[in-house]
């Protein structure tokens, strides 16, 4: 979900060259976080989510306890909220509907 939101944000600027999650992360940082269009907390949240994804992809066993889940959910909410606020400022007449994920 977060990667799709990031790609949609990049599509706003017509960036389509990011073929990897790391490429998306770099472009979001360079074009949205560094100039202040997204808060630094959103960049940190995306980095934390990407690190967790890598851990899940490349480790044989990943222990996910409640605190890990809550931290990931919080990071996801931080990132999606930042994107929602940016889009609302950029296109005030656009109505967004983002379905909640998890409980």
pLDDT at position 44 is 95
Cβ-contact 27, 33 below 8 angstroms: no
Residue 58's pLDDT is: 81
Residue with tokens 């999606």: 80
Q: Do 89 and 80 contact (CB within 8 A), yes or no? A: no
User: What are the tokens at 90?
Assistant: 């950029």
- Going residue by residue through the chain, which has 103 residues, state the pLDDT in tens, using 9 for 90 and above: 466 667 777 776 666 666 787 888 888 898 899 999 999 999 999 999 989 888 887 877 777 788 988 999 999 999 989 988 998 888 888 776 666 665 5
pLDDT of residue 36: 94
Which pLDDT value is given to residue 56?
80
Instruction: Give the pLDDT of residue 62.
Output: 73
77 membership: H or E segment, kind and range: helix 66-90
Interatomic CA distance for residues 58 and 103, integer angstroms: 26
The pLDDT score that the predictor gives to residue 55 is 83
Q: Answer yes or no: are the C-beta atoms of 53 and 59 closer than 8 Å.
A: no
Q: Are 76 and 2 in contact (CB under 8 A)?
A: yes
């Amino acid at each position: 979900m977060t990667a799709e939101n990031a790609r949609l944000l990049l599509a706003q600027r017509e960036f389509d060259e990011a073929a990897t999650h790391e490429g998306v992360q770099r472009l979001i940082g360079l074009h949205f976080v560094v100039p202040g269009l997204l808060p630094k907390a959103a960049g940190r949240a995306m980095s934390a989510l990407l690190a967790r994804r890598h851990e899940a992809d490349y480790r044989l066993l990943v222990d996910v306890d409640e605190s890990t889940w809550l931290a990931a959910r919080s990071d996801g909410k931080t990132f999606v909220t930042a994107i929602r606020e940016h889009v609302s400022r950029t296109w005030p007449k656009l109505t967004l509907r983002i379905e909640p994920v998890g409980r």
